Amino acid sequence: MCNCGDYIQDMRYVALEKMLDKYRHTTGKIIPVLQKTQEIFKYIPEEAIKIIAEELKIPSSEIYGVATFYGQFHLQVRGKNIIRVCTGTACHVQGGGKLLESITKTLGLSGGTMTTNDLMFTLEPVACLGACGMAPVMMINEDTYGRISPEEVPEIISRYMEKDGIEKCIA
Amino acid sequence: MSETTVMINGIKISVPAGTSILHAAQKAGFKIPTLCYHPDQEIKANCRICVVEVEGQKNLMPSCATAVSEGMVIKTTTARVLEARRTILELMMAHHPQDCLQCVRNGSCELQELAGEYDVRYNRFPQEDAHLPLDYSTPSIVRDPNKCILCGRCIELCTSKQTVNALGLAHRGFDTQVVPSIGQELFESPCVMCGQCIHACPVGAIDGREQISEFLAAASDPNKVIVTQIAPAVRLAVAEAFGSESGQLSMEQLVGALRMIGFDHVLHTNFAADLTIMEEGYELLERISNGGTLPMFTSCCPAWVRFAEVFYPDFLEHLSTCKSPQQMFGALVKTYWAEKMGISPVKIFSVSIMPCTAKKYEAVRPEMGDSGYSDVDMVLTTKEIIRLFQMTGVNPLKLDAAEFDPWMGEYTGSGVLFGASGGVMEAALRTVYEEMTGRSLVKLEFNEVRGMEGLKEAALDWDGTIVRVAVAHTLSNARVLMDQVAAGKSPYQFIEVMACPGGCIGGGGQPLTRTNEQRAKRMEAIYDEDRSRAVRKSHDNREIKILYNDYLHEILGHKSHELLHTKYTIKRKNI
Ligand code: SF4
Ligand code: SF4
Ligand code: FES
């Protein structure tokens, strides 16, 4: 089995330990530490919470409480592109449900998982995107798509696939 | 202290400055409902059920969190107050399962009681249950997050009193939940299974794991001989459950009652407590004279042992290697006792009756099978035994006294003391003193180690040898003593720890115990029983002498080590 993934992971944990060193003697540190952790991992893995708890002598229950309280923290791996779909009333009336279904199908998500296996996309249903006039609405990263039909979804998503394909080649 | 005068429902009353409206109203004779409030805890003020009207204030005020001020005019009985409280109840109930009839807390639930008092006959809000999975991961505790009303009482207990931090709040708003550390099951958290959170919880969200059906199945199996050991703290709580004072029920009445509900032979954990004193007392003497690891900590409380294994893995050699009385008893009942009685150990089903939830866990620890069988087959808590008496309609208080079965039923005042914080220490000192000085102890009471004080200590001058001892109950206090050891600064030789407030009398398997006041009463009853025993020192126990003479041959000898001592292992948990 290829070990390069392990290596990359190790480097992230080295960065975590290094970052924690700076916080050993400060107070009121949970939020900044979690922010830095998320910068390192792009999300907050369970393992990282255990390490933070042990290293900084803060109960893991307390860290977990903070990490789950604030919307800015993510405890699951997130994809490169974030797709937000409105499930609010206005969008619902205009066929938001069908839209959501179509995205799920296009991404091949099932059983409640929200991130694709290749880590390219994460789907996040949200309560309202504040653009009810354009219902139904979805956002991919910072781009907003309003009044779209379920049939348009595959084409829109494919644009982001290509973009990343190119980026990947360059990298 | 200066007094503040206020008017509550038209009644003028003076209370010390800083008193909460809640307490002032109580003093004036008015009950205000509470849920998140707990007399032994900090004010949390998150449930709002205790709201009252204060003249000049636009909003209703939470009475538990509002201090009185001079001239305050308070109303606790207005329609506005009652309507607000009822709305809060309805909102809570809309997210609370409606299966009260089958709930472990049926009849002792604070929410159920309030729903009754506030005449909630229908709910204006639609029922929305979360259908979260129950947590059966430990052998001791069951958590039903669906019933949780988020009062935070268990969290404070586990965090401030026990310093275990197994429970915390997670998520936000509607999705808020109480969860074990990283949202995992309780067994993966540092939970030590003390069960104190059960007493803290106002509803049925946490309770001990019940094994009543399993017991009934075993009792009706003709191939099983049911043998029981009963712990000292159980008797008091059974008496309370049948409406009597702690001390009114005699041990011998309880023996008769147990025979009636399916126990073939009734023996006493106190016998094993006396045995523990012999082994542990001599272990201490040996450590002192041979330069062994000191201070030595007692090891009869399984919640404390697990606490040490999780939080102080580098200091486990400070724990006595003695098994707890329950497990010493278990190892002997299928060897020594089986031999004496001529009963095949295969047939023996050993059930212990304990005030403790952690004992259920202790019994299934993999190292507890030195008899060649499972040493203790089942642990029933005081609560379960009371349930069995209720089911069978047997009231122990109405029965005549009966005798314990032979060989492992005799016990001394020292054995009884194991039920209260400081008791193991006192019992050990009675025996160790006589061995160390060669003289007979005249005054048996060591008052320094008695009482509800969280940390107790004594320095005893025995013919020029100073013996320094300490006693801690509730784990935050144990932590203080363990931190001293970790820092290399412990001045003591011998330390007793019990995880529960007051010791086993306040155990997690006891019937709902709301306050420390109640625990202090049970403690008194323990001292009374000690005083009433003809024999009060463990080494004078006749049956213990027979045991050493006929079977174990010597204290700390080969057989003892095989059956009565154990090892501890580091437990890695998400602390
Ligand atoms: S049983 Fe004890 S340690 Fe476990 S969660 Fe409850 S209070 Fe905490
Ligand atoms: S489990 Fe019980 S004590 Fe803990 S927060 Fe929920 S209702 Fe309160
Ligand atoms: S009892 Fe006062 S707010 Fe909960």
Strands B348-354 and B11-16: unpaired
Residues B385 and B483 both lie in one domain: yes
- What pLDDT score does B184 carry? 87
Residue A153 CA to ligand 3 center (angstroms) comes to: 50
- Give the Cα separation of B538 and B429 in Å (integer): 10
- What pLDDT score does A170 carry? 38
Work out the pLDDT band at B448, boundaries 50, 70, 90: confident
Q: Which of B101-115, B234-248, B443-457 has the lowest mean pLDDT?
A: B234-248
Per-residue pLDDT for A167 more than 90?
no
Residues B191 and B233 both lie in one domain: no
- What pLDDT score does A166 carry? 46
- B254 ligand 1 Cβ < 6 A: no
Protein residue whose Cα sits closest to atom 6 of ligand 1: B197
- What pLDDT score does B519 carry? 87
Count of CA atoms in the C-beta half-sphere (13 A) of B174? 6
Residue B52, domain member (yes or no): yes
- Give the Cα separation of B302 and B311 in Å (integer): 14
Residue B88, domain member (yes or no): no
Residue B227, domain member (yes or no): yes
A112-152: per-residue pLDDT in tens? 788 888 889 999 888 888 888 888 999 998 899 999 999 99
Protein residue whose Cα sits closest to atom 1 of ligand 3: B34
Catalytic residue at B36?
no
Work out the pLDDT band at B138, boundaries 50, 70, 90: very high
Name the CATH superfamily, with its identifier, for domain A81-163. Glutaredoxin (3.40.30.10)
Percent of chain A surpassing pLDDT 90:
47
Whether the pTM exceeds 0.80: the reply is: yes
Q: Looking at ligand 3, which atom is closest to the CA of residue B50?
A: 2
Work out the minimum CA distance from B173 to partner chain A, whole angstroms. Answer: 9
- Residues B200-223 have a mean pLDDT of 95
Q: What is the complex's ipTM, to 2 decimals?
A: 0.81
Average pLDDT taken over every residue of chain B: 92
For residue A53, list chain B residues with Cβ-Cβ distance below 8 A.
Answer: 574-575
Residues B413 and B442 both lie in one domain: yes
Pairwise pLDDT comparison (B414 vs B384), residue with the higher score: B384
Asked if residue B72 lies in contact with residue B51, where contact means CB atoms within 8 angstroms, the answer is no
- What pLDDT score does A169 carry? 38
Last residue of a domain, one of B188, B208, B228: B208
Residues B232 and B307 both lie in one domain: yes
- Residues B214-222 have a mean pLDDT of 94
- B155 ligand 1 Cβ < 6 A: no
Residues B433 and B355 both lie in one domain: yes
Last residue of a domain, one of B77, B110, B131: B77
Residues B218 and B296 both lie in one domain: yes
Work out the minimum CA distance from A3 to partner chain B, whole angstroms. Answer: 27
How far, in Å, are A112, B314, B335, B372, B497 from residue B324 at the CA level?
47, 21, 17, 18, 12
Last residue of a domain, one of B44, B77, B110: B77
Residue B87, domain member (yes or no): no
Catalytic residue at B280?
yes
Residues B126 and B259 both lie in one domain: no
Residues B255 and B388 both lie in one domain: yes
Residues B464 and B528 both lie in one domain: yes
Domain count, chain B: 3
Task: Please state the domain extents for chain A.
Answer: 4-69, 81-163
- Residues B23-44 have a mean pLDDT of 95
- Residues B448-461 have a mean pLDDT of 90
- Residues B541-548 have a mean pLDDT of 89
- Residues B388-402 have a mean pLDDT of 92
Output the domain CATH number for residue B47.
3.10.20.740
Contact call for B170 and A65, based on CB within 8 A: yes
- Give the Cα separation of B314 and B483 in Å (integer): 12
Per-residue pLDDT for A164 more than 70?
no
Output the domain CATH number for residue B130.
3.30.70.20
Residues B220 and B195 both lie in one domain: no
Output the domain CATH number for residue B540.
3.40.950.10
Work out the pLDDT band at B256, boundaries 50, 70, 90: very high
- Give the Cα separation of B274 and B543 in Å (integer): 10
- What pLDDT score does B411 carry? 87
Residue B571, domain member (yes or no): no
Work out the pLDDT band at A162, boundaries 50, 70, 90: low
- Residues B311-330 have a mean pLDDT of 94
Residues B180 and B293 both lie in one domain: no
Catalytic residue at B214?
no
B166-197: per-residue pLDDT in tens? 999 999 888 899 999 888 899 999 999 999 99
Domain range for residue B120? 93-208
Catalytic residue at B283?
yes
Work out the minimum CA distance from A46 to partner chain B, whole angstroms. Answer: 7
Residue A62 CA to ligand 1 center (angstroms) comes to: 15
Work out the pLDDT band at A66, boundaries 50, 70, 90: very high
Tell me if residue B532 falls in helix, strand or coil: helix
Counting beta carbons within 10 angstroms of the beta carbon of residue B171, is it exposed (0 to 12), middle (13 to 18) or buried (19 or more)? middle
- Give the Cα separation of B508 and B500 in Å (integer): 7
Q: Looking at ligand 2, which atom is closest to the CA of residue B153?
A: 3
**Core vs surface per residue B374-401: b (16+ CB within 10 A) or e:** ebbbbbbbbbbbbbbbeeeebbbeebee
